[in-house]
Amino acid sequence: MRKLHVGIIGCGNISSIYFENCQTFQALDIIACADLDIERAKQKAEEYKVKAYSVEEMLADPSIDIVINLTIPAAHGQVTLKALEAGKHVYTEKPISISLEEGKAILELAYAKGLRVGGAPDTFLGGGIQTGIKLIEDGWIGRPVAANAFFMSSGMEEWHPNPDFFYQTGGGPMFDMGPYYITALISLIGSVKRVTGSASKSFAERVTPEGRKIPVEVPTHISGVLDFENGAVGSIVTSFDSWGNNLPRIEVYGEYGTLSIPDPNTFGGPVTYRRKGEKEFMDVPLTHGYRTNSRGIGLADMAEAILEDRPHRANMELNYHVLEIMHGFHIASEQGKHYHVSSEVKRPAPLDMTNQF
């Protein structure tokens, strides 16, 4: 299989797993990296034996087919647009943008230029969630009728070395972790047609362990309701305001049973199942591979899709649908009414149990 040449923009901590994993995928060859901090780019380039570029040099290099956008969320949209203007396919960390307007501009430009855009999260392609998808498709719970999803934490200042941006525009628990949960729900159940929500900024400031105060600009506890196209109703809570909880990550409720789905920020299990009439949940062996940290699998699928001229799974339409849903929760809270989702997507095609990228 021919390899597509890849360049990474953004050489922060998360870049390492992309460098490492992409070396194992058949259709990818990372040849360069760039960062606003050129010294950081040079360090990564030396570590992984690639070229160090400025951003402008990377976008000007005709040999680079795909740009991986690992910049901070606030820069995702502009970097992706610049890469598209330069004729590159793009795979971006989540979210695709922090604004709906910029997200739409990305879709329009990609369509106009005939280029692919894909993006994280691709954890829904891991063994855990793919097992859940197979169980639903095989009829284990019948028709899905409802779902719950919960991400609860005490916030990022407890452990993150640079937590400030989590509390600025484009941050908060919904924009940080919501993409994992909403993408998983869409892959399990399908497109969302309407949402409502309530959002609160519980504390005016956060305090790091060293005593530094961080002003809070965004809601830190969001409760949302999702009306799926197929009639199912879901609920989701994302919070930086919880010191502990005993909630599941994701559960899907069907006519004949319940599925408990693992943390969608991971790739593995466990998956558990309780059928109508039974008293206990049972563990279900995972049916698919990619059970450890496989970040980049969505990019590998996109690269193969480009070469094979087929749709890819972690696609820009899915990325934008998730972005609109997240904004919808906040808009509904501000306006006190339902938000009708204008975008619509097909559930990403399940992986074959033998898929090897």
Note whether 240 and 146 are same-domain residues.
yes
According to DSSP, the residues that pair with 234 across neighbouring strands are 147, 226
Note whether 98 and 244 are same-domain residues.
no
Note whether 62 and 133 are same-domain residues.
no
Residues in the chain: 357
Note whether 144 and 112 are same-domain residues.
no
- Select from 87, 119, 151 the last residue of a domain: 119
Per-residue pLDDT of the chain (357 residues; tens, 9 = 90+): 789 999 999 999 899 999 999 999 999 999 999 999 999 999 999 999 999 999 999 999 999 999 999 998 999 999 999 999 999 999 999 999 999 999 999 999 999 999 999 999 999 999 999 999 999 999 999 999 999 999 999 999 988 888 998 999 889 999 999 999 999 999 999 999 999 999 999 999 999 999 999 999 999 999 999 999 999 999 999 999 999 999 999 999 999 999 999 999 999 999 999 999 999 999 999 999 999 999 999 999 999 999 999 999 999 999 999 999 999 999 999 999 999 999 999 999 999 988 889
Q: Are residues 261 and 250 in contact, defined by beta-carbon separation less than 8 angstroms?
A: yes
The domain tally of the chain equals: 2
In a domain, 266, yes or no: yes
d(CA 95, CA 179): 7
Quickly tell me which residue has 């306006």 as its tokens: 335
- Helices assigned H by DSSP within 120-238: 127-137, 172-188
- Helices assigned H by DSSP within 49-85: 55-60, 73-85
pLDDT for 231:
97
Note whether 92 and 131 are same-domain residues.
no
d(CA 348, CA 357): 17
pLDDT for 354:
86
In a domain, 353, yes or no: no
In a domain, 299, yes or no: no
Q: What is the CATH number of the domain that holds 143?
A: 3.30.360.10
d(CA 116, CA 312): 9
In a domain, 74, yes or no: yes
pLDDT for 317:
98
Cis peptide before 270 (omega within 30 of 0): yes
Note whether 112 and 260 are same-domain residues.
no
Note whether 249 and 142 are same-domain residues.
yes
Note whether 227 and 141 are same-domain residues.
yes
Note whether 25 and 145 are same-domain residues.
no
d(CA 333, CA 163): 25
pLDDT for 61:
97
Degrees to nearest 5, angle at CA 230 with 225 and 232: 40
In a domain, 235, yes or no: yes
Which residues 6+ apart lie within 8 Å of 255 measured at CB? 141, 142, 143, 145, 276
Note whether 113 and 139 are same-domain residues.
no
Note whether 252 and 139 are same-domain residues.
yes
pLDDT for 322:
98
Its domain, for residue 229, covers 126-288+321-340
* Helix/strand/coil percent split, the chain, to 5: 35, 25, 40
pLDDT for 1:
73
Note whether 178 and 326 are same-domain residues.
yes
**What is the 3-class SS of 166-196, one letter each residue?**
HHCCCCHHHHHHHHHHHHHHHHHCCCEEEEE
In a domain, 59, yes or no: yes
- Select from 119, 139, 159 the last residue of a domain: 119
Quickly tell me which residue has 């149990």 as its tokens: 353
Q: What is the CATH number of the domain that holds 92?
A: 3.40.50.720
In a domain, 303, yes or no: no
